[in-house]
């Protein structure tokens, strides 16, 4: 063998030895970190058990009630902690194995690269962390941002903004409305469709089209999930009822589509009532009754009013829904019977209902 070959093979042999030693010490270091973390974890668990046995609960009944609820949360938190502790160790092993492979495939260059990089990080780029000015506190801090005075001065009711003859002012007001949360302002935005300014009406049409398309798609998607649900599953219905009511009460659909959507809304309520009537609140009954009143479906509304009166006989909404139904349907006898029953009950009456009673008394 020539001198060059001897030098070449010695470099390869030395590189393999260095790589193997690097991998071995790296895996030993990871193993030591694992054992150290396991020992600290056992100490923490033992300390928690000791403090738990020494401190007696003040209220045993409350602890028994919250025990089942907190058990699942503690199990999930423990699983998250275990996964978070296992991941760095797995990543450490992977890093050492990858560096070992690179050092084998790149003799002499690989070890020099990693060695120089480690030295540069150790002595040049590494900086000590100063925690003197860092405060770890669980107190919540409320940040007060400065108000946008110019924008606040330009805020006005959209109904008044549409009547403005200045196109630039109308467009700026419309843009301010669009930039905010438009979910509860669609009824006002729909008024801008009849604006003489084409750009303003275009803004309103684009916003309405996007919101209505999203609503249609979401309702169809969630309704398919309702059809796939088991008899004891009601999460989709519980979500759909307030979601659909928020859109339908603004009356931004065409007359035909509004009727179809309200019927779908009643079907969602029927699904929830069939599966879990105990989850049906008086507010849900009122929403469904008022939406059916909008499309003048008196027969279906009367059925829901009867259900509300049977389940919540001492709720004001159970009486007001029937009063609105009988008044709109012009059923005087039933209207005054319900009104007399409300006056004789012990229900707290709001201003609107009180004015109604004074008017018809």
Rounded Cα–Cα distance for residues 349 and 199 (Å): 47
End-to-end CA distance of the chain: 121
Question: Residue with structure tokens 């492979």?
Answer: 101
Tokens for 12, please give them: 């390869």
**pTM above threshold 0.85:** no
Q: For 57-109, what is each residue's pLDDT tens digit? A: 444 444 444 445 454 545 555 555 444 444 444 566 787 788 888 887 888 78
Nearest CA to 253 among 286, 212, 287, 211? 212
Rounded Cα–Cα distance for residues 242 and 36 (Å): 52
Asked if residue 120 lies in contact with residue 47, where contact means CB atoms within 8 angstroms, the answer is no
What local confidence, expressed as pLDDT, does residue 159 receive?
A: 61
Tokens for 163, please give them: 């009547």
Query: How far, in Å, are 46, 266, 315 from residue 350 at the CA level?
Result: 58, 27, 12
Rounded Cα–Cα distance for residues 324 and 293 (Å): 8
What local confidence, expressed as pLDDT, does residue 261 receive?
A: 93
Query: How far, in Å, are 47, 57, 59 from residue 52 at the CA level?
Result: 8, 9, 14
Average confidence (pLDDT) over 54-58 = 46
275: helix, strand or coil: helix
Q: For 172-212, what is each residue's pLDDT tens digit? A: 767 766 666 677 778 777 777 777 777 777 877 888 888 89
Give DSSP secondary structure letters for 114-153: HHHHHHHIIIII------SS-----------PPP-HHHHH
Query: In which band, very low, low, confident or very high, does the pLDDT at 244 lie, cut at 50, 70 and 90?
Result: very high
Tokens for 19, please give them: 């790589």
C-alpha 19 chain-centroid distance: 50
Rounded Cα–Cα distance for residues 299 and 328 (Å): 12
Q: For 290-343, what is each residue's pLDDT tens digit? A: 999 999 999 999 999 999 999 999 999 999 999 999 999 999 999 999 988 988
Average confidence (pLDDT) over 125-139 = 59
What local confidence, expressed as pLDDT, does residue 69 receive?
A: 47
What local confidence, expressed as pLDDT, does residue 221 receive?
A: 92
Rounded Cα–Cα distance for residues 359 and 201 (Å): 42
What local confidence, expressed as pLDDT, does residue 287 receive?
A: 94
Rounded Cα–Cα distance for residues 279 and 283 (Å): 11
Q: For 13-46, what is each residue's pLDDT tens digit? A: 888 888 888 888 888 888 888 888 788 888 877 7
Asked if residue 325 lies in contact with residue 293, where contact means CB atoms within 8 angstroms, the answer is yes
Could you tell me what percent of the chain has a pLDDT over 90? 24
Tokens for 238, please give them: 């519980």
Q: For 273-293, what is each residue's pLDDT tens digit? A: 999 888 889 999 999 999 999
Of 341 and 136, the structure prediction assigns the larger pLDDT to 341
77: helix, strand or coil: helix
Question: Residue with structure tokens 């829901």?
Answer: 304
What local confidence, expressed as pLDDT, does residue 163 receive?
A: 62
Q: pLDDT at residue 263 above 90?
A: yes
What local confidence, expressed as pLDDT, does residue 57 receive?
A: 46
Question: Residue with structure tokens 């045993």?
Answer: 60
Cα-based angle 342, 343, 344 (whole degrees, multiple of 5): 90
Nearest CA to 212 among 267, 240, 171, 250? 250
Query: In which band, very low, low, confident or very high, does the pLDDT at 56 lie, cut at 50, 70 and 90?
Result: very low
What local confidence, expressed as pLDDT, does residue 256 receive?
A: 93
Rounded Cα–Cα distance for residues 135 and 45 (Å): 27
Question: Residue with structure tokens 């349907």?
Answer: 329
Nearest CA to 173 among 149, 195, 156, 198? 156
């Amino acid at each position: 063998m020539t001198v060059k070959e001897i030098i070449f093979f010695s470099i390869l042999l030395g590189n393999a030895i260095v790589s193997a030693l690097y991998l071995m010490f790296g895996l030993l270091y990871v193993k030591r970190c694992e054992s150290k973390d396991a020992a600290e974890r056992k100490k923490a668990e033992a300390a928690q058990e000791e403090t738990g046995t020494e401190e007696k609960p003040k209220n045993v009944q409350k602890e028994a009630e919250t025990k089942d609820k907190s058990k699942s949360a503690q199990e999930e938190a423990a699983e998250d902690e275990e996964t978070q502790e296992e991941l760095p160790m797995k990543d450490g092993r992977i890093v050492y194995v990858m560096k070992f492979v690179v050092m084998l495939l790149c003799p002499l260059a690989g070890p020099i690269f990693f060695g120089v990089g480690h030295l540069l990080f150790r002595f040049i780029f590494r900086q000590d962390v100063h925690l003197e000015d860092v405060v770890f506190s669980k107190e919540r801090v409320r940040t007060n941002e400065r108000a946008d005075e110019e924008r606040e001065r330009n805020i006005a009711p959209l109904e008044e903004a549409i009547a403005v003859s200045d196109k630039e002012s109308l467009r700026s007001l419309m843009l301010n409305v669009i930039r905010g949360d438009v979910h509860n302002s669609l009824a006002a935005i729909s008024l801008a469709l009849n604006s003489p300014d084409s750009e303003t009406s275009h803004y309103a049409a684009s916003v309405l089209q996007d919101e209505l398309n999203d609503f249609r798609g979401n309702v169809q998607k969630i309704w398919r999930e309702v059809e796939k649900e088991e008899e004891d599953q009601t999460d989709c219905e519980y979500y759909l009822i307030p979601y659909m009511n928020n859109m339908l009460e603004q009356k931004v659909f065409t007359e035909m589509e509004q009727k179809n959507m309200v019927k779908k809304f009643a079907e969602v309520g029927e699904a929830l009532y069939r599966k879990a009537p105990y989850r049906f609140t008086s507010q849900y009954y009122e929403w469904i009754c008022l939406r059916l009143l909008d499309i003048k479906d008196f027969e279906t509304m009367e059925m829901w009013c009867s259900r509300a009166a049977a389940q919540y006989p001492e709720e004001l909404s159970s009486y007001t829904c029937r009063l609105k139904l009988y008044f709109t349907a012009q059923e005087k006898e039933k209207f005054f019977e319900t009104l007399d029953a409300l006056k004789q009950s012990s229900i707290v009456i709001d201003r609107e209902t009180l004015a109604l009673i004074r008017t018809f008394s």
